[in-house]
């Protein structure tokens, strides 16, 4: 009796199965290569407000943990902080991309970052089958910080002035002991970028900066920055797939890398110079972008390496 000819639906399903099998075969060498390694992932931008993308991010993180990678999540929350400050009628301004944070504002920043955002992300990861624990940089003195000082040169008088950003901080010391314990367990740490000063003062720390400092302290295999841009764009308008530290510095100097991309690239450069093997800038708006970068041959976004 002749075999029944497959329908178009069956052929399509079979094709999808073959493609999935090919993806798994391509991913296997990378699974072996990265097992036991620590990846620090900065999660932020508009993706945090996109529920379907947030769920996919959570599933990707759980998958990474299941195959032996140790993901450490550091999250931002600028838009959410802004909305809460507006709701409470607390005025806020920015200088050089950093939120000026007075005493009233820093209490709201800590509440939003360590409270609602942190716990929501923890819940997403747990719902995806992981075991996440939310932390603030104040827990276990994880992120010790000091007041961030920035200067600005007046273009008319050429006088350099010290800018007062309030309770905006920069990391002075990362105490990784707590995170090392998590590496040896099934727990995925989710960290709010809040630091503590010598006198117990709370500091608001830029999430990119905090992630870079944590990656260096852990000697992470990768620092991954999820952003709202596809990566570093060259003068030809194309994404630059890979840059050495030296090449990235040249692109900053000649203006190819400009605006808000400068501090992100500088954070990556600093991390690579200090114990992190590679840093990546990825478009967090792409579904499963973490898996595309980690488990496929060509990856995505921009990778910055030594050299």
148-175 residue pLDDT tens: 877 665 656 556 666 677 888 999 999 9
| pLDDT score recorded for residue 260 | 83
> What percent of the chain is modeled with pLDDT above 90?
53
**Residue 177 buriedness (CB in 10 A; 0-12 / 13-18 / 19+):** exposed
The helix/strand/coil state of 166 is strand
Exposure of 166 in the CB half-sphere (CA atoms within 13 A): 18
- The answer to whether residue 28 scores a pLDDT higher than 90 is no
| pLDDT score recorded for residue 296 | 81
Q: Are strands 242-244 and 302-305 parallel, antiparallel or unpaired?
A: parallel
**Do 278 and 220 touch, CB atoms closer than 8 A?**
no
| pLDDT score recorded for residue 68 | 92
Phi, psi (degrees; rounded to nearest 5) at 242: -145, 140
Spatial distance between the Cα atoms of 40 and 224, rounded to a whole number of angstroms: 6
| pLDDT score recorded for residue 94 | 73
The more confidently predicted of residues 76 and 30 is: 76
| pLDDT score recorded for residue 96 | 65
Taking residues 282-307, what's their average pLDDT? 88
The helix/strand/coil state of 168 is strand
Residue with tokens 């073959």: 18
| pLDDT score recorded for residue 148 | 87
> What percent of the chain is modeled with pLDDT above 70?
86
Choose which CATH entry (3.40.50.150, 3.40.1160.10, 1.20.1440.230, 3.20.20.140) describes domain 36-305: 3.40.1160.10
The more confidently predicted of residues 158 and 202 is: 202
| pLDDT score recorded for residue 86 | 84
Q: Looking at the chain, which runs of residues are DSSP E strands? A: 38-43, 70-75, 94-95, 98-99, 131-136, 143-147, 150-153, 160-163, 169-174, 187-192, 194-196, 202-204, 222-227, 242-244, 278-283, 302-305
- H or E segment to which residue 28 belongs: helix 8-34
Phi, psi (degrees; rounded to nearest 5) at 15: -65, -40
Strand partners, 70: 38
| pLDDT score recorded for residue 9 | 67
State if pTM tops 0.75: yes
Taking residues 22-32, what's their average pLDDT? 70
The more confidently predicted of residues 133 and 49 is: 133
**Stretch among 22-36, 178-192, 238-252, 268-282 having the lowest mean pLDDT:** 22-36
- The answer to whether residue 225 scores a pLDDT higher than 90 is yes
Taking residues 99-107, what's their average pLDDT? 82
Taking residues 276-297, what's their average pLDDT? 90
């Amino acid at each position: 009796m002749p075999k029944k000819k497959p329908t178009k639906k069956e052929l399509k399903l079979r094709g999808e199965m073959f493609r999935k099998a090919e993806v798994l075969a391509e991913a296997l060498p990378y699974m072996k290569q990265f097992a036991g390694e620590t990846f620090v992932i900065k999660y932020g931008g508009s993706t945090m407000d996109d529920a379907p993308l947030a769920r996919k991010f959570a599933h990707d993180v759980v998958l990474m943990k299941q195959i032996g990678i140790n993901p450490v999540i550091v999250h931002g929350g600028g838009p959410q902080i802004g909305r809460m400050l507006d709701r409470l009628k607390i005025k806020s301004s920015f200088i050089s991309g950093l939120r000026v944070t007075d005493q009233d504002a820093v209490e709201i920043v800590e509440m939003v970052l360590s409270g609602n955002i942190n716990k929501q992300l923890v819940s997403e990861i747990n719902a995806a089958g992981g075991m996440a624990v939310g932390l603030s940089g104040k827990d276990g003195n994880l992120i010790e910080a000091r007041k961030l000082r920035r200067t600005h040169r007046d273009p008319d008088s050429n006088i350099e002035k010290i800018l007062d950003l309030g309770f905006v901080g920069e990391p002075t010391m990362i105490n990784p002991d707590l995170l090392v314990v998590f590496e040896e367990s099934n727990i995925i740490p989710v960290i709010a970028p809040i630091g503590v000063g010598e006198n117990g003062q709370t500091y608001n720390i830029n999430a990119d900066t905090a992630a870079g400092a944590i990656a260096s302290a852990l000697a992470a295999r990768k620092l991954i920055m999820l952003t709202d841009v596809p990566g570093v764009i060259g003068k030809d308008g194309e994404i630059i797939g890979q840059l050495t530290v030296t090449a990235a510095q040249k692109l900053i100097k000649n203006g190819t890398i400009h605006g808000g991309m400068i501090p992100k690239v500088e954070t990556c450069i600093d991390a690579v110079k200090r114990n992190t093997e590679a840093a990546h800038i990825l478009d967090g708006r792409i579904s499963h972008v973490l898996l595309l970068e980690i488990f496929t041959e060509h990856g995505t976004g921009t990778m910055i390496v030594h050299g």
